[in-house]
Amino acid sequence: MRVIITLLLLVFPVALMSQTKSRVRKSTDFLFSTPIAAGITTALIKKDYVGLKQLVFSTGTAIVTNYALELSVKKVRPDHTGKHAFPSTHTLIAFTGAEYVQRRYGWKWGLPAFFVSSYVAWGRVNAEKHDWWDVAAGAAIGIGASYAFTKPLKNANITIVPAHKGVVITATF
């Protein structure tokens, strides 16, 4: 497993750099919603309707904040295609989903979501749709909104079993 992770860390950056800006932009247009989709899917599979409600509040808060800032700041994009560059909506949505998944279900689920979100942030800058502070603000707003509304899922399981010299207590969290 370590060999696979090491190879990915060495090969993946080279693969990223060899993409055209158009291809990077198209991939971020698709991938930005995957952390949110993962959160919705996981909540539905686990029948975690409380968590699903937390995701809706997190996403709603992040999007309202995003559009309020875009309308008031009116920053021009680096490629001059519009006046709504600050903050990055793609990055905001990706990091809202990633923080929700990580906070609700743990790092086992959150790490891949943050990996995808980081790629989206890098891709938006690489494709000249945003400057680095646009994606940093989007990430901060998304993470902040999810952190404010999302509570970790408690899956504590404690077992007490009589043993030869007392009891054995096992706990899983």
> What DSSP string runs through 100-131?
HHHHHH-HHHHHHHHHHHHHHHHHHHHTTSS-
Q: Is the pTM of the predicted complex or chain greater than 0.85?
A: no
Q: At what angle do helices 49-73 and 89-105 cross, to 10 degrees?
A: 150
Residue 157 backbone dihedrals phi, psi, to 5 degrees: -135, 110
Beta bridge partners of 157: 172
- Tell me the CA distances in angstroms from 57 to 61, 147, 169, one per residue in order: 6, 11, 38
Question: For tokens 């800058």, what's the residue?
Answer: 125
Q: What is the DSSP letter of 161?
A: E
Rounded Cα distance, 91 and 101, in Å:
15
List the chain domain ranges: 18-172
pLDDT in 10s for each residue of the chain, 173 residues: 566 555 555 545 545 555 677 788 788 888 889 999 999 999 999 999 999 999 999 999 999 999 999 999 988 888 888 888 899 999 999 999 999 999 999 888 889 999 999 999 998 888 888 889 999 999 999 999 999 999 998 764 445 566 666 656 554 54
Rg of the chain's alpha carbons, rounded to an integer? Answer: 20
pLDDT tens figures, 110-133: 899 999 999 999 988 888 888 899
Rounded Cα distance, 60 and 145, in Å:
9
